[in-house]
Amino acid sequence: MRQAERRAGLLFCLPWLLGFLLFTAGPILTSIGLSFAWYDVLNRPAFVGLENYTRLLTGDPLFWKSLANTLYITVVGVPLGVLTGLSLAMLLNLNVRGLTWYRTIYYLPSIVPVVASSILWTWILNPQFGLLNAALQGMGINGPSWLASETWAKPGIILMGLWGSGSTMLIYLAGLKGIPRHLYESAEVDGANRWRRFIHITIPMLTPTLFFTTTMGIIGSFQVFTQAYVMTGGGPVDSTLFYVYYLFNNAFGYLRMGYASAQAWVLFVIILAVTLLQLKMARHWVYYEVEAR
């Protein structure tokens, strides 16, 4: 009976296992081999050893340019995204009339496809006819050129990302709902004001949620592609040439598949190192209620 159940279980898992081996594990293993070869799709791969990695790290200025652009999104965009999502969750955790409608309205932008959002924000950030500059002009402020400016293109993409903070807001809202109410009541009885309750109760109890959203946000920031591809094409002056976009250009624009594979594995090492560092640091600031029992 157990063997029959085991066979049935394996049979049901077989489609997924085949899909994983063919479309995930296979390309991963292939890319490892191609990263040590020169391969342009049209000809057979030629082994070149560490040449792709050496050229990438020492002889390719666009590699460092794309990495710097990506780090800008990570350092500036991720903290702003955390702050925006947490602020919205705090507001939507209040007991006010029409709360369901407010939550729906703030969540809707996060389910709009990225391509559609990118096209929409291309018009919003238009320096001459865009809604954002028109609003700034109404306040007596001359808006920047946004996507046409080397200085303002990345902030414009970050601004678009903040507009879609609804999914992060939902996670924070779930975390806020999980904080025991009696902690706030006890603190209020002891005379703690709202700020002290936020600092000493809300933030410590939300640290697991903050850790999760920060980790996922950093991983996502290293994979920014669609926004730059649709909105700027990597310009102006390569100011929005992000790492994955440059990888895409090498692989499918210049047909340098081996070089792009090496670039992909460098990205994997960077993300792995950052994630391991976060996991190590989490022991010093992430609080789990189970630990106190």
Domain of residue 204, CATH code: 1.10.3720.10
Instruction: For residue 195, tell me if it sits in a domain.
Output: yes
Tell me which DSSP letter residue 37 carries: E
What is the per-residue pLDDT for 94?
86
- Token duo for residue 38: 């020169």
CA 215 to chain centre: 9
Q: What is the pLDDT along the chain (293 residues), one digit of tens a residue?
A: 788 888 888 899 999 999 999 899 999 999 999 999 999 988 999 999 999 999 999 989 999 999 999 999 999 999 999 999 999 999 998 888 888 898 899 999 999 999 999 999 999 999 988 999 999 999 999 999 999 999 999 999 999 999 999 999 999 999 999 899 899 999 989 888 989 999 999 999 999 999 999 999 999 999 999 999 999 999 899 999 999 999 999 999 999 999 999 999 999 999 999 999 999 999 889 988 665 44
Tell me which DSSP letter residue 47 carries: E
The answer to whether 172 and 86 are in contact (CB under 8 A) is yes
User: At residue 38, what are phi and psi to the nearest 5 degrees?
Assistant: -100, 120
Instruction: For residue 119, tell me if it sits in a domain.
Output: yes
What is the per-residue pLDDT for 293?
46
d(CA 237, CA 224): 18
Instruction: For residue 169, tell me if it sits in a domain.
Output: yes
Instruction: For residue 14, tell me if it sits in a domain.
Output: no
d(CA 158, CA 184): 34
Instruction: For residue 292, tell me if it sits in a domain.
Output: no
What is the per-residue pLDDT for 292?
47
Q: Whole domain around residue 127: which residue ranges?
A: 61-287
What is the per-residue pLDDT for 290?
60
Domain count for the chain: 1
Instruction: For residue 214, tell me if it sits in a domain.
Output: yes
- Token duo for residue 163: 């507009």
Locus of tokens 């414009």: 156
Instruction: For residue 40, tell me if it sits in a domain.
Output: no
Could you tell me which of 203, 108, 110, 229 has the C-alpha nearest to residue 160?
Answer: 110
User: At residue 94, what are phi and psi to the nearest 5 degrees?
Assistant: -80, 155
pLDDT tens digits along 26-70: 999 999 999 999 999 889 999 999 999 999 999 899 999 999 999
Other Cβ atoms less than 10 A from the Cβ of 240: the count is 26
d(CA 257, CA 30): 11
Amino acid at position 202, single letter: T
Instruction: For residue 17, tell me if it sits in a domain.
Output: no
